[in-house]
């Protein structure tokens, strides 16, 4: 039997669509299991500043469809210090919170791991980031929505690219990971996709674009992950434009629209599943783990492992681009 | 080494968003493998009527983002006769088509199985239906788009339901299967979900709605699969309205908007994967099978098996509704 | 100099997207003019039940993009009685509310006119209804959003109609007025549009559809306002289906999705303009009038006149359909 | 009686959503009036290169809902020369085209005016540009769609801005005109709007942002037209960031997504009206004019006048921002 009576929940790091659906699931999953539940504002900083309040079933009414996070998010420098974490722990004790659910990405779980090792508090993480770059889950919350946002944006740009027979370089988020670029590139029919995981061979890209140009003289779209080692969309577009003044080259950096918006059906369901699963995991005595979905089943991965391992791109998807852009 | 030189492709049965993305992948996957590819119009009927034409890479430009099917779809009574199928086969021979990719659902694969047994033609099926009711694949093409369409519609109805404190019964497609109702119900935060797979206990639903009504006096939304044995949204709404004249009950039947629309990122990727996989399967000597995704990997399921077995609802999702609607 | 110190605001009747933007503008417009402002819940019923609370600039933060109405809406039988209105007036006095802004349609303004004549309270109305059927304004709040909702739904249905060469009858809201049907019909490229203002000549429609069918054998879409005297989409579809068993006829009733959703840019701007204009009108000593937009300028129309006159359909738009559906 | 027998139609300059709806209306309006109609590819360049083909009712089926332009667009240097225009005119004569409809903006009409003065060919212009900066019409085709695209993007950014309490500078299109920035700013509830028409007072903006920051410590969004004399979003954001290191400042440049997308209901109707009106104007013997909408009626403005005069921003809308951002 679990001795947990009160769960704290927070969102931390970059926000992602579906975080509210996850908060809702944690809150209602807790209440369903007769636990009290406290919402902590602005991530770890709110823990330190004691910004929190009890949540009820009604507190999370009508939020499943909203972007952002009602608990707000922030990055906390103070939580990186031992002192900060001590203050945080004291607030937890004061409030009677005896378990924690943290929703976020890499940075969030790094903090959670250290905190959970230093102090006697069970913590479970829920993967919430549009980057999908977390080991231990097939999908992170927000990834599917961001994919749809990117794809809809590229669809719009395709209209104007085709009208003018232009070559577009479109930059999407992903400092270290190309998941978003790869999948949205396939889904939007991009002619080429540049990701950080694979070294971009400029002369190969150049030959490819020349072929495209000669073949169709119509629009071409290249999706570039912001972290591509070649230096982002602006740099590569400048180089291509210099080498081929005959191309009509344009750049669009999609930017922060990728983080917002009403979550997709997929993200809402994943968030609902993982939110409830996080509470169950705590009740089962789990700690220092992330809940995730693998092959559509809930799985647990220790923070250590989730942080140490790197999820790799699906090689089948990489190959798909070559086949489909002929 | 495969002896296949020319592939025919058709869409049949109810159309689904993403069919065009699948056609595109079949066409380009064929050309990539140095095969000719012929598009057949209006499903099996076009095979009988010899309505077909060769497709090229450009034939499928700029269609990945469109709903419907550029090959059109139809149900064919004639193909259910031996005579009809004979005519179809003769047309295939005349055209030099020596393999077939069929995109559709149950009915499509039933036809394919019989045709493939009677005549010496390898056939591979791609699951395309918004119902997601096919054994042998986690997701069918169109399902994710339909989910998002339903969820966005319910979001809109939630606005007006909340403004007026109403009880809405919303009917979604699904004559025999509750996949669409169940997932979209969870994603839209429905208070209750009625699916054909589970007998609806009216008195339990009644008690539940009474509790809801007393608790919040705010909006409630019940999602009903059209095939629910209680008789669809209109019937159940009438009964609830009769028993509780104090409720402000409304009904909306979402209808055919669920079949259309630009496919979601997810559906476009799945369609791209399966389209290419279908061509590969033919080249590998496969026949009379459906390609599908299981745990994100391409798998093959014989038509026989796909048609005989029934995919079941995820019990975890069924339970989720009870937890989240408290 | 106006003696008004405190404004009450309510929404009444059927809700419409953009009502929240209007509430926001009334609240901030009042505060900008150093007035207090009280939000009244559930329309006139909340006035009678004394359900109200003061609103501040922050009360209307982040609502401009939401559908529904944060003040909720309701129809009140009690307000139709002299007694009910007396109670309402006493509550206004008790609360110190000395002017009223009411957002809604016909019914709302009828109540306002009677109330404003019986008691000494200045009232200004803001036209909020998806039907656009109010004399005294070119556009009502919610109309443009509903148009876009209908058009996007018809776009989706067009996908599936084209895939199957079907004839669709799609019913849109509009019990007495065809504004929504007419404009959305033109915008979605409907082959024919049936509105209450014009008697439907069945044999003419029949000839037209036969021509269409013979010409294209492709999809046809007929938009039907729910109040068309021929009896709505179901009735007419049944008749056409009986007369032409060779057609593949379908019906979709769009229903309540038309009332919800995030308001369009147009509706948000109109709502913002009219909300501020309503407060200005009160400060200018106006009463018993509706604010509206005529030729993009704010105009005032006495309730009497707004209710007595009937806005007529634009004859140019009616003619447009015949030209564009050839 | 008009002697016109054959109309040519082209799109030129930056593309805008709704151009296809306008093409459709020109084509069907011509056929309805028993005229032949020729589609000219890539604007004036296609006229010079003789890239054109006859269009029929079916040529424009199912395009009303698409972005871009099926006729493609381009800027033509050659058409700026006398020689180029001579070649263009000879092609018109060769093809039997005796009247021209040109869809575009400023540059398009400048070319048309010169061409129409040099050669004996009646030309009517249709205003198609997302900038809405044309004198002689209340709305240009594409403006309303671009507004909705911007507003939906800002809604998404608001989600993440609020989650992190950030200050966002969002740049929208508009090199010389602030129409798009002003209306989308009001519709998205922007805290401040910077347009080229009004000199930005930096210290006033600074004070305003400080107030905002102190008051709410929540998100603030400033919309900046790309042509603002202060130098675009990046420059102003850098300055504010330098002066206030305590703000969390971000920039997003919306870019080319603003040009694409399925046109809004409003744009489709305007495009349909103006397309038909352009053909009528030609048949009425008009030439060298632009058709436009003023107070919802079709009006004609000579190219000379349309090009010489500058449309001014609505001062009421400018004031609205101050009131609504309190």
User: Per the CB < 8 Å rule, is B68 touching C162?
Assistant: yes
Closest to D326 measured CA to CA, from C280, C271, C29, C70: C29
Q: How far apart are CA B139 and CA B141, in angstroms?
A: 7
- pLDDT attached to residue D185: 97
- C216 → chain D, closest CA residue: D58
Mean of the per-residue pLDDT values for chain C?
94
> For residue C214, is pLDDT > 70?
no
Q: Is A131 noted as a catalytic residue in this protein?
A: yes
DSSP state at residue B262: S
Most confident of A213-222, A293-302, B199-208, D310-319: A293-302
Q: How far apart are CA A258 and CA A248, in angstroms?
A: 26
**Are the beta carbons of C173 and C254 closer than 8 angstroms?**
yes
Percentage, residues of chain C above pLDDT 90: 85
Closest to C25 measured CA to CA, from C45, C14, C12, C11: C11
- pLDDT attached to residue A217: 58
Mean pLDDT of B213-238: 86
Q: How far apart are CA B32 and CA B27, in angstroms?
A: 9
Place of tokens 């009917």: B171
Q: Which of residues 226 through 255 in chain B touch A, CB cutoff 8 A?
A: none
- pLDDT attached to residue B68: 96
Check CB contact of A158 with chain D, cutoff 8 Å. Answer: yes
Q: How far apart are CA B187 and CA B148, in angstroms?
A: 9
Check CB contact of D67 with chain A, cutoff 8 Å. Answer: yes
Determine if residue B189 is labeled as part of a ligand binding site.
yes
Number of CB atoms found within 10 A of residue A58's CB: 11
Estimate to the nearest angstrom the gap between the alpha carbon of D262 and the chain centroid: 15
Instruction: Please report all neighbours of B, defined by 3+ CB atom pairs within 8 A.
Output: A, C
Which residues, 6+ apart, have CB-to-CB distance to A160 below 8 Å? Answer: A166, D14, D15, D67, D68, D256, D259, D260
Check CB contact of C155 with chain B, cutoff 8 Å. Answer: yes
Instruction: Give A215-219's long-range contacts (Cβ < 8 A, gap of 24+).
Output: A216/B58, A216/B61, A217/A165, A218/A162, A218/A165, A218/B61, A219/A158, A219/A161, A219/A162, A219/A164, A219/A165, A219/A166, A219/A167, A219/A168
- pLDDT attached to residue A1: 54
Place of tokens 């033919």: B282
- A154 → chain B, closest CA residue: B65
Residue among A66, A68, A163 minimizing CB distance to D68? A163
Check CB contact of A163 with chain D, cutoff 8 Å. Answer: yes
Residue among C65, C144, C323 minimizing CB distance to D155? C65
Instruction: Give a three-class secondary structure readout of D201-218.
Output: CHHHHHHHHHHHHHHHCC
**Are the beta carbons of C105 and C127 closer than 8 angstroms?**
yes
Determine if residue A36 is labeled as part of a ligand binding site.
no
Determine if residue D183 is labeled as part of a ligand binding site.
no
Radius of gyration of chain C (CA): 22
Residue among D68, D155, D168 minimizing CB distance to A159? D68
User: Per the CB < 8 Å rule, is C72 touching B163?
Assistant: yes
Q: Where does residue B58 fall: left (phi above 0), alpha (psi -120 to 50 degrees), or beta otherwise?
A: alpha
Mean pLDDT of D127-150: 97
- D18 → chain A, closest CA residue: A159
- D270 → chain C, closest CA residue: C187
User: Per the CB < 8 Å rule, is A156 touching D255?
Assistant: no
Across-strand partners of A9? A39, A101
Mean pLDDT of A142-150: 98
> For residue C215, is pLDDT > 80?
no
Q: Give C36 or B231, the one with higher predicted confidence.
A: C36
Cα separation values, D288 from C104, D104, D109, Å: 45, 14, 9
pLDDT tens for D178-208 read 999 999 999 999 999 999 999 988 998 898 8
Kindly provide the ipTM of the predicted complex, given to two decimals.
Answer: 0.96
pLDDT tens for A2-52 read 789 999 999 999 999 999 999 999 999 999 999 999 999 999 999 999 999
Mean of the per-residue pLDDT values for chain D?
94
> For residue C129, is pLDDT > 60?
yes
Residues of C with Cβ-Cβ distance to B164 under 8 angstroms? 15, 72-74
Estimate to the nearest angstrom the gap between the alpha carbon of B323 and the chain centroid: 28
> For residue D312, is pLDDT > 70?
yes
- pLDDT attached to residue B321: 87
Determine if residue A189 is labeled as part of a ligand binding site.
yes
Residues of C with Cβ-Cβ distance to D324 under 8 angstroms? 24-25, 28-29, 272, 276
Q: How confident is the model at residue D214 (pLDDT cuts 50, 70, 90)?
A: low
**Selected residue of B157, B260, B263 to mutate for chain C interface (largest C Cβ count, 10 A):** B260
- pLDDT attached to residue C1: 53
Mean pLDDT of A181-206: 93
Determine if residue C268 is labeled as part of a ligand binding site.
no
Q: How many residues does chain A have?
A: 326
Least confident of B274-278, D51-55, D311-315: D311-315
Mean of the per-residue pLDDT values for chain B?
94
Residue among A138, A155, A265 minimizing CB distance to B183? A265
Mean pLDDT of A222-245: 93
Strand stretches in chain D, DSSP E: 6-11, 36-40, 52-54, 99-104, 123-127, 167-172, 192-194, 220-225, 249-253, 289-294, 297-302
Q: How far apart are CA A185 and CA A168, in angstroms?
A: 13
Mean pLDDT of B187-197: 94
Place of tokens 């694949």: B137
- pLDDT attached to residue C326: 73
Q: How far apart are CA C311 and CA B144, in angstroms?
A: 43
DSSP state at residue D173: S
DSSP state at residue B240: H
Residues of B with Cβ-Cβ distance to C161 under 8 angstroms? 256
Q: How far apart are CA C300 and CA C286, in angstroms?
A: 9
Q: How confident is the model at residue A293 (pLDDT cuts 50, 70, 90)?
A: very high
pLDDT tens for C173-195 read 999 999 999 999 999 999 999 99
Q: Which of residues 123 through 152 in chain D touch C, CB cutoff 8 A?
A: 138, 144, 147-148, 150-152
Mean pLDDT of D66-79: 95
Shortest Cα distance from C183 to chain D (angstroms)? 7
Q: Given the residues B15, B98, B131, B267, select the one marked as catalytic.
A: B131
Which residues, 6+ apart, have CB-to-CB distance to A77 below 8 Å? Answer: A84
- pLDDT attached to residue C96: 97
Shortest Cα distance from D101 to chain C (angstroms)? 17
Determine if residue A28 is labeled as part of a ligand binding site.
yes
Place of tokens 């909203």: A66
Q: How far apart are CA B72 and CA B49, in angstroms?
A: 14
Q: How confident is the model at residue B1 (pLDDT cuts 50, 70, 90)?
A: low
> For residue D1, is pLDDT > 60?
no
Place of tokens 């020596």: B98
Closest to D105 measured CA to CA, from D72, D80, D130: D130
- pLDDT attached to residue B216: 62
- pLDDT attached to residue D276: 98
Q: What do you get for the CA distance between the two ends of chain C, in Å?
A: 60
**Selected residue of D32, D316, D323 to mutate for chain C interface (largest C Cβ count, 10 A):** D323
Residues of C with Cβ-Cβ distance to B158 under 8 angstroms? 68, 260
> For residue B18, is pLDDT > 90?
yes
> For residue B217, is pLDDT > 70?
no
pLDDT tens for A249-279 read 999 999 999 999 999 999 999 999 999 999 9
Q: How far apart are CA A282 and CA B2, in angstroms?
A: 55
Domains and CATH numbers, chain C: 6-142+263-308 (3.40.50.450), 143-259 (3.40.50.460)
Q: How confident is the model at residue B209 (pLDDT cuts 50, 70, 90)?
A: confident
Q: How far apart are CA A18 and CA C307, in angstroms?
A: 46
**Selected residue of A260, A262, A263 to mutate for chain D interface (largest D Cβ count, 10 A):** A260
| Catalytic site positions of C | 131
User: Per the CB < 8 Å rule, is B162 touching A264?
Assistant: no
Determine if residue D128 is labeled as part of a ligand binding site.
no
Q: What do you get for the CA distance between the two ends of chain D, in Å?
A: 60
Determine if residue B26 is labeled as part of a ligand binding site.
yes
- pLDDT attached to residue B214: 67
Instruction: Please report all neighbours of C, defined by 3+ CB atom pairs within 8 A.
Output: B, D
The DSSP element (H or E) to which A235 belongs, if any, is helix A232-243
Q: How far apart are CA A135 and CA A145, in angstroms?
A: 19
Across-strand partners of B125? B102, B290
Residues of A with Cβ-Cβ distance to B24 under 8 angstroms? 189, 324
Q: How far apart are CA C138 and CA C271, in angstroms?
A: 13
Closest to D15 measured CA to CA, from D238, D260, D272, D319: D260
Mean of the per-residue pLDDT values for chain A?
94
Instruction: Please report all neighbours of A, defined by 3+ CB atom pairs within 8 A.
Output: B, D
Q: Please give the structure tokens belonging to residue A123.
A: 């913590």
- pLDDT attached to residue D151: 98
Shortest Cα distance from B210 to chain A (angstroms)? 17
Residues of C with Cβ-Cβ distance to B162 under 8 angstroms? 68, 72
Residue D249: helix, strand or coil by DSSP? strand
Check CB contact of A316 with chain B, cutoff 8 Å. Answer: yes
- B19 → chain C, closest CA residue: C163
The strand pair at D249-253 and D167-172 is best described as: parallel
- pLDDT attached to residue B231: 86
Radius of gyration of chain A (CA): 22
- pLDDT attached to residue A214: 67
Determine if residue D175 is labeled as part of a ligand binding site.
yes
Place of tokens 């059109």: B72
**C-alpha torsion D312→D317→D319→D322, nearest 10:** -130
The strand pair at B289-294 and B297-302 is best described as: antiparallel
Check CB contact of B218 with chain C, cutoff 8 Å. Answer: no
Residues C203-216 as b or e (16 or more Cβ within 10 Å = b): eebeebbeebbeee
Which residues, 6+ apart, have CB-to-CB distance to A30 below 8 Å? Answer: A7, A36, A37, A279
Across-strand partners of D172? D225
- pLDDT attached to residue A195: 95
């Amino acid at each position: 039997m679990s001795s947990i009576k009160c769960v704290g929940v927070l969102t931390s790091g970059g926000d992602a669509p579906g975080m509210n659906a996850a908060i809702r699931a944690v809150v209602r999953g807790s209440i369903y299991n007769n636990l009290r539940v406290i919402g902590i504002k602005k991530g770890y900083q709110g823990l330190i500043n004691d910004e929190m309040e009890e949540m009820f079933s009604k507190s999370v009414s009508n939020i499943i469809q909203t972007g952002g996070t009602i608990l707000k998010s922030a990055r906390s420098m103070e939580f990186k210090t031992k002192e900060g974490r001590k203050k945080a722990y004291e607030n937890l004790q004061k409030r009677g919170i005896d378990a924690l659910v943290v929703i976020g990405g890499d940075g969030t779980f790094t903090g959670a791991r250290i905190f959970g090792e230093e102090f006697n508090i069970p913590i479970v993480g829920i993967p919430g980031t549009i980057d999908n770059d977390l080991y231990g889950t097939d999908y992170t919350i927000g990834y599917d929505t961001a994919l749809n946002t990117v794809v809809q944006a590229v669809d719009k740009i395709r209209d104007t690219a085709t009208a003018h027979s232009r070559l577009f370089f479109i930059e999407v988020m992903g400092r270290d990971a190309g998941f978003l670029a790869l999948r949205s590139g396939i889904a939007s029919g991009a002619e080429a996709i540049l990701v950080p995981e694979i070294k971009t061979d400029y002369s190969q890209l150049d030959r490819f674009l020349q072929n495209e140009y000669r073949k169709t003289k119509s629009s071409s779209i290249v999706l570039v992950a912001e972290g591509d080692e070649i230096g982002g969309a602006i740099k590569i577009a400048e180089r291509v434009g210099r080498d081929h003044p005959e191309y009509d080259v344009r750049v669009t950096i999609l930017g922060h629209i990728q983080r917002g918006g009403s979550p997709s059906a997929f993200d809402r369901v994943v968030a609902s599943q993982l939110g409830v699963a996080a509470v169950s995991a705590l009740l089962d005595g789990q700690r220092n783990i992330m809940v995730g979905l693998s092959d559509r089943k809930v799985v647990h991965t220790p923070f250590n492992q989730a942080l140490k391992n790197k999820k790799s791109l699906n090689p089948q998807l990489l190959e798909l681009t070559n086949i489909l852009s002929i």
